[in-house]
Amino acid sequence: MEQFSFSYQKTTVAELPTTIQHLIQASEDVARHAYAPYSNFKVGAAALLAGGSTMVCANHENASYPAGTCAERGLLAHINPTEADQQINAIAVSYISDAKTQTPLSPCGICRQTILEQQLAQNAPIAIYMCSTDGHVIYVEDATHLLPFYFSSKNLEL
């Protein structure tokens, strides 16, 4: 039997570098602007680009539920991974919710696939900071850690 394992770090916002604290703050700020009238689960995602800028996006729900878009995928839709200054070094994901749990939020499956596409296209790892509502953070240094046995363009090669 083979085994898949990966490294992750559990920490708090206060223990992270200032750059990442600002990135997390940006994701928290944009979560307040989410359009989530159905779930009231407001998600914010922020990307730290190689050029030094930060881009943000919140989730956007729809009465036709499948038409809604996650914050992470909305964010990535605005970024071109083949442009060097738009390569992503890190993504932070935060949320606001009335749910009982305060655990760090990890991207859903389809967002993991989308983040991984970006990582493969830019050929550089993307660190993902998954934030709780009370200052705790889990992070991984490579998007592949969240999606073992992923599907990619290699599967489409003839």
- The residues binding Zn ion (CB under 5 A) are 70, 108, 111
Report the residue number, 33 or 83, with the smaller CB distance to Zn ion. Answer: 33
Report the residue number, 99 or 108, with the smaller CB distance to Zn ion. Answer: 108
Could you tell me the smallest distance in angstroms from the CB atom of residue 39 to Zn ion?
12
Number of H helices, E strands in the chain: 3, 6
Could you tell me the smallest distance in angstroms from the CB atom of residue 42 to Zn ion?
13
What is the C-alpha to C-alpha distance for residues 75 and 77, in angstroms, rounded to an integer? 5
Report the residue number, 14 or 67, with the smaller CB distance to Zn ion. Answer: 67
What is the C-alpha to C-alpha distance for residues 147 and 158, in angstroms, rounded to an integer? 24
Going by C-alpha positions, the residue among 89, 35, 80 that lies closest to residue 62 is 35
Give CA torsion, residues 13, 37, 77, 29, to 10 deg.
Answer: -30
Q: Which of 61, 72, 141, 157 is catalytic?
A: 72
Could you tell me the smallest distance in angstroms from the CB atom of residue 73 to Zn ion?
6
DSSP code at position 69: B
2 carries an active-site annotation: no
* Position closest to Zn ion via CB: 70
List residues with catalytic annotation: 72
